[in-house]
Structure 1
């Protein structure tokens, strides 16, 4: 059985390969501290590592200690295990602690529609953990929107892009790229999809996605019902999504509701956008 990289012990969360503890609750030789609250930064460790903004906080609380401050995204190795600190948003200097051992061996591919979802993801991706590469359909649309929005830097994947360049970094791609020749050339990789459809049970498995994140650009069930009530509409025509289920529910609530067949797609015709792309690996 494979030993997990992090384990819970009597002293706290322990990384055996590095002989380092994360926020230990008993005295240890080597401790990485996430933030300054008393239950996470305790007295008695021989060596402390934390974000530099947390250094004066824990020195004020703990006195003379051996402490080293690190910057966001700065990597440091302990016995061939790579650690880095990333903003947690809890209190000043609070950190998420990233632990890697023989990592950076896969490309992270995140699927999102080329107009809207991809830019929403791009705006809030953490660029501390790597570069962001893009499929041509997403790059082209993002360039149209750059004069309007301050996006992070992206790099278009072209025929000259080597898969070694992508390892350990993030690739933004449209859903239509999943299973394509374009993506198969990036092996090894892990996939994730950001969509409102991830709310539904089994959606990730049905789409053959490793990870799923619920992120929708539309109203949810409750929001739709609130909108219908607010408008005072006499008739509701359902055209997107699970139209039969929703219209049936509305009729049960006393509304005059029905479905109507349209030529609207799930979001957009990704194939058309992709056909304009020069992206390949």
Structure 2
């Protein structure tokens, strides 16, 4: 058993420091990579996160104790030296580096290596062992440049405006929604947001992050008051909530739009392929940059991706966790090791 990090039924545990990383069971001390609900859960005795991640965590978790650190700041916890490094996933997200007696492990949380211009850019961290996600760990997942997707959304939005329709865009409240509103052309029309998204916007703006002007949707908000609007809401709001906007076109922005059948199950007219998780190429390049020989794959297409890594010469292993993959709230996310598991790697 490693004295750096081990895998337990409560989460990733450091015996030398007596703490857990992103635990899903109740523990006394939790180090958190970012604020999404599958990584930052209520009920821990204390929390440690980056200063940029803490405000959203506080909003979501309520009256909990959260200590904070800057990126790259080293803290001593028991016999472990710990530091947080940008993961590029959402604002404040981090990889957590743990060093014990000269041996270094890194827990990635969720990450992407492409700079989205909004989150802190990913920084590779050299280590002996790397714990990685594999949410999109198949070669069929290859993201287009962000500007290409933004242009697709702008074209769709402009066409809807010409037809007198609202453009309803499903995106997740922390990270994806803000990334999209930051890269689309706000001169096309007003950007309206669901309350859950606007609450997050308020928190991020208070931290000094720049976002375009947005309008919080209320019971009185409708298409007549805001013609040609782009309405950004969580996928759960599709249905009765979105009907108030009258004639509309609905679309989803998710990496899962790359899979046949997901858009159809969503009954969406359009699917924009964009994710805050690494695609196949990014996963492989990130792992290579760590220099690690031991790789632990925690969530996503774990079996397929682990086999691929072993074929490349890594000492790779599957680890069972309770992490949810893309945006944590995506009920259409497939069971990754069954659907498309036969794809060539």
| TM-score, normalised via structure 1 length | 0.55
**Residues 40-119 of structure 1 aligned to structure 2 (within 5 Å):** 103-119=162-178
Q: 1:178 aligns to what?
A: 238
**Residues 179-198 of structure 1 aligned to structure 2 (within 5 Å):** 179=239, 181-198=240-257
Change (3 A) 1:151 1:254: same
Give per-residue Cα distances to partners, 1:16-60, cap 9 Å, x unaligned.
Answer: xxxxxxxxxxxxxxxxxxxxxxxxxxxxxxxxxxxxxxxxxxxxx
Q: 1:150 aligns to what?
A: 210
Per the TM alignment, residue 186 of structure 1 is displaced from its structure 2 partner at its CA by: 3.0
Change (3 A) 1:161 1:176: same
Change (3 A) 1:257 1:100: closer
- Looking at structure 2, the residues matched to 238 and 99 of structure 1 have their Cα atoms a distance apart, in angstroms, of 42
- Looking at structure 2, the residues matched to 127 and 101 of structure 1 have their Cα atoms a distance apart, in angstroms, of 15
Task: Give the conservation status (yes or no) of the 8 Å contact 2:161–2:228.
Answer: no
1:127 aligns with 2:186: yes
Change (3 A) 1:101 1:150: closer
- Looking at structure 1, the residues matched to 188 and 284 of structure 2 have their Cα atoms a distance apart, in angstroms, of 40
1:164 aligns with 2:224: yes
- Looking at structure 1, the residues matched to 254 and 209 of structure 2 have their Cα atoms a distance apart, in angstroms, of 22
- Looking at structure 2, the residues matched to 136 and 102 of structure 1 have their Cα atoms a distance apart, in angstroms, of 23
Per the TM alignment, residue 206 of structure 1 is displaced from its structure 2 partner at its CA by: 3.4
1:237 aligns with 2:306: no
Task: Give the conservation status (yes or no) of the 8 Å contact 2:192–2:230.
Answer: yes
Give per-residue Cα distances to partners, 1:175-224, cap 9 Å, x unaligned.
Answer: 22234x21233332111222222333443223322112222222211111
- Looking at structure 2, the residues matched to 197 and 270 of structure 1 have their Cα atoms a distance apart, in angstroms, of 9
Secondary structure of the structure 1 residue equivalent to 2:272: strand
- Looking at structure 2, the residues matched to 205 and 270 of structure 1 have their Cα atoms a distance apart, in angstroms, of 15
Q: 1:256 aligns to what?
A: 315
Secondary structure of the structure 1 residue equivalent to 2:218: coil
Q: 2:11 aligns to what?
A: none
Per the TM alignment, residue 156 of structure 1 is displaced from its structure 2 partner at its CA by: 0.7
Change (3 A) 1:207 1:249: farther
- Looking at structure 1, the residues matched to 265 and 330 of structure 2 have their Cα atoms a distance apart, in angstroms, of 19
Q: 2:266 aligns to what?
A: 207
Per chain length, whose mean CA-contact separation is higher, i.e. which structure has more relative contact order (CA < 8 Å, sep 6+)? 2
Change (3 A) 1:165 1:248: farther
Larger Rg computed on CA atoms: 1
Per the TM alignment, residue 262 of structure 1 is displaced from its structure 2 partner at its CA by: 1.6
Per the TM alignment, residue 130 of structure 1 is displaced from its structure 2 partner at its CA by: 1.0
Per the TM alignment, residue 99 of structure 1 is displaced from its structure 2 partner at its CA by: 8.4
**Residues 18-57 of structure 1 aligned to structure 2 (within 5 Å):** none
Change (3 A) 1:164 1:240: farther
Task: Give the conservation status (yes or no) of the 8 Å contact 2:169–2:230.
Answer: yes
Aligned length: 175
Per the TM alignment, residue 163 of structure 1 is displaced from its structure 2 partner at its CA by: 4.0
Secondary structure of the structure 2 residue equivalent to 1:263: coil
* Root-mean-square deviation (Å): 2.9
Q: 2:277 aligns to what?
A: 218
